[in-house]
Amino acid sequence: MSFKPANSIQDLQYFGEFGGVNPSISDSSTYTFLSAKTMFDTFEGNADGCYLYSRHSSPSNLYLGEALAAMEHTETANVTASGMGAITAVMLQLCNAGDHIVSSRTIYGGTYAFFKNFTPKFNIETSFVDITKLEAVEAAITKRTKVLYCESVSNPLLEVADIKGLAAIAKKYSLKLVVDNTFSPLSISPAILGADVVIHSLTKFINGSSDTVGGVVCGTQEFINDLRNVNDGAGMLLGSTMDSLRASSILKNLRTLHIRMQQHSKNGMYLAERFEKDGLKTVYPGLSSHPSHNLFKRMMHTEYGFGGMLTIDVGSLEKANELMELMQHKNLGYLAVSLGFYKTLFSAPGTSTSSEIPEEEQAEMGLSDGLIRFSIGLDADIERTYNMMRKCMTELNILVKKTTAI
């Protein structure tokens, strides 16, 4: 029987303190002990089930981590205060001074800035490559390389990583493959395909209501223990701890993720097909025109579709801004960064979420000024949404108006 990620979440059973159908929230920063010896043992990591201080762990955070580990088919997981909190802790845990990272060139701007501008302070260098070319990835590996890093579906160009192929390279050179799966929860399971560590920004699709910032690291028990080590664990010492109330909120929303992702994907596919038919330069993994369409199909859990992210290119930043402002005015969504909300969100990534990447490098990777990134919402009538979007594009002369024969 093939792995079913939503079933793995659903099969977890938690009870609250008084028989509640949701687990009780541990709203405490510190925990008491009946004996001093138990406190000592807990500091030493030798007292299972005991809690010491909520920066170390809390019941609420462990419930959420257990559910996310079940979703990603890893031994365990550690939740963090943000997606960047997860990424930075993982990379600083895996790399020491003098080490080297090979990363996809198209990644979230904050991650790019961390690799390009911050880690060199610790003498950790990064080579950015076209992740879709395995020969380029292998050619960038040096004796100092410790990590291959990519996003399952890249932000914002929607390039698709061949996770099995990358895993084989990582194994060949004894590297760790770290995969950010934020754009494709449930649709792709990187750990099953060979990833060593899987990261999410929980802020996005997994939480789904744009009211919480969070992250998670999914991996082996040994690696998560290392992250949490009180003496040298990056997850522990960098202090990016998730609040228990937020963990509880995300866990509730996680239980409907499978339903939401199906609708995000259904709506994304509908709009992508029609935008492409209208002659717009459209990128969406579900389109046969996408260069990695067949690769995505081989990796995916088909019931969750190709995701809710698509891009169109309207030719210039001026046109992109005009269209986004008009669509917001017509209540078709919000001109906002982030993704995974019930309403459609749109932004021009070259001047927002990818603005940390220098303009010349944006041009080299194909990130144009006129590119608009859409996070497609949960619209019940996506045909109505399309018709209204098309009317906006026609009004701005982005599309030629359709004529109806009489």
pLDDT tens-digit series, residues 14-48: 888 888 998 988 888 888 887 888 777 777 766 56
pLDDT of 333 reads: 97
Helix residue ranges, H only, 255-381? 257-277, 293-299, 317-329, 359-365
Task: Measure the CA–CA gap between 396 and 5, rounded to whole angstroms.
Answer: 43
Answer yes or no: is pLDDT of 406 > 50.
no
Model confidence at 113, pLDDT cuts 50, 70, 90, reads: very high
pLDDT of 33 reads: 80
Total length of the chain: 406
Q: Are 317 and 351 in contact (CB under 8 A)?
A: yes
For residue 102, what are the β-bridge partners?
A: 127, 148
Answer yes or no: is pLDDT of 101 > 90.
yes
Instruction: Give this prediction's pTM.
Output: 0.94
3-state DSSP assignment of residue 317: helix
Per cent of the chain over pLDDT 90 is 80
- What's the mean pLDDT in 287-291? 98
Answer yes or no: is pLDDT of 304 > 90.
yes
Answer yes or no: is pLDDT of 195 > 90.
yes
Answer yes or no: is pLDDT of 404 > 50.
no
Those residues whose C-beta lies under 8 Å from the C-beta of residue 243, and which sit 6 or more positions away, are 81
pLDDT of 48 reads: 65
pLDDT of 143 reads: 98
3-state DSSP assignment of residue 104: strand
5-251 and 258-396, same CATH topology? no
Summary mean pLDDT of the chain: 93
- What's the mean pLDDT in 301-328? 96
Choices 3.30.43.10, 3.20.20.100, 3.40.50.970, 3.90.1150.10: CATH for 258-396: 3.90.1150.10
Please name the fold of domain 5-251: Aspartate Aminotransferase; domain 2 (3.40.640)
Task: Measure the CA–CA gap between 84 and 29, rounded to whole angstroms.
Answer: 23
Q: Beta strands 334-335 and 309-313: pairing type?
A: unpaired
pLDDT tens-digit series, residues 159-181: 999 999 999 999 999 999 999 99
What residues does each domain of the chain span? 5-251, 258-396
Task: Measure the CA–CA gap between 352 and 109, rounded to whole angstroms.
Answer: 9
DSSP H/E element including 146: strand 145-151
pLDDT tens-digit series, residues 209-233: 999 999 999 999 999 999 999 899 9
- What's the mean pLDDT in 66-91? 98
Burial tier of 46 (Cβ tally within 10 Å: 0-12, 13-18, 19+): exposed
CA angle in degrees (0–180, nearest 5) for 329-261-257: 110
- What's the mean pLDDT in 79-97? 98
Task: Measure the CA–CA gap between 357 and 368, rounded to whole angstroms.
Answer: 12
Query: What single string gives the DSSP state of each residue in 335-363?
Result: E-S----SS-EEE-GGGTTTTTS-HHHHH
Q: What is the 3-state secondary structure (H, E, C) of 113-141?
A: HHHHHHHHHHCCEEEEECCCCHHHHHHHC
- What's the mean pLDDT in 144-151? 98
pLDDT of 403 reads: 45
Burial tier of 17 (Cβ tally within 10 Å: 0-12, 13-18, 19+): exposed
Per cent of the chain over pLDDT 70 is 95
